[in-house]
Amino acid sequence: MANKVLIFSAPSGSGKSTVVNHLLSLHPELEFSISATSRAPRGEEKDGVEYYFIDAQEFRDRIDAGEDSHKVIAERQARYPEYAEAIAMYMSRWEESLPGEVPGMYELVSRLKLDPKNRIFGLTNWSMETFPQARARFAVLQLIDNYVVSGQEGVVKPDPRIFHILLNRFGLQANECIFIDDNPANVESAVGLGFRGIQFHDAASLAKELGI
């Protein structure tokens, strides 16, 4: 079986590892190539043995919380050298991951701004290395009155501390605020602090929730 590559592809939990381990026991000349997964280890699985267990959320949160992206990326590259080029793309090609403004949101925020009583703040999980470029790129972000950016504060949603930073900095009361986010965990955290929470799906349904 020299110069042959065998690839087993099937849904998670379907028994790929069992088949592969049996095949390796029959053919000790075969070499097992360790792949990467973002799922959590199962049973007695160990990182670097069955899989490289990559916590993508932890990686993003560290950068969004203000850690130097070069340091975080270098650590991951040292741990997974065969994926070094792909890991570097997280920052070198980050703009390509932005799909563009959410349809209808510029118009919706513009309507809200017509009422001078409405104050609109951004509470975002974003690296300060890239947020200024994103704000300059998207017109809707320039409509926001002010921001609390996780990369500047060193803490990310849904941690209650970042909500308190928002309230204290701008003199707000949670029970007078509406918090809108596409992540249900962030909405749940806000509601627990006294905000009215709305999970975002699209501009049309949000406009209906807000009654505008």
Listed in sequence order, the residues at least 6 apart from 29 whose beta carbon sits closer than 8 Å to its beta carbon are 1
Is residue 85 exposed (0-12), middle (13-18) or buried (19+ Cβ within 10 Å)? exposed
Orientation of helix 105-113 relative to helix 203-210, angle to 10°: 30
7 DSSP β-pair partners: none
Listed in sequence order, the residues at least 6 apart from 12 whose beta carbon sits closer than 8 Å to its beta carbon are 39
pLDDT digits (tens, 9 = 90+) for 108-164: 999 999 999 999 999 999 999 999 999 999 999 999 999 999 999 999 999 999 999
What are the angstrom distances between the C-alpha of 138 and each of 31, 101, 103, 199?
49, 7, 12, 22
How high is the mean pLDDT of the chain? 91
Percentage above 70 pLDDT, the chain: 98
Nearest-CA neighbor of 98 among 117, 126, 77, 75?
A: 126
Has residue 105 got a pLDDT over 70? Answer: yes
Predicted pLDDT at 2:
60
pLDDT digits (tens, 9 = 90+) for 168-197: 999 999 999 999 999 999 999 999 999 999
pLDDT-derived band at 1 (thresholds 50, 70, 90) equals low
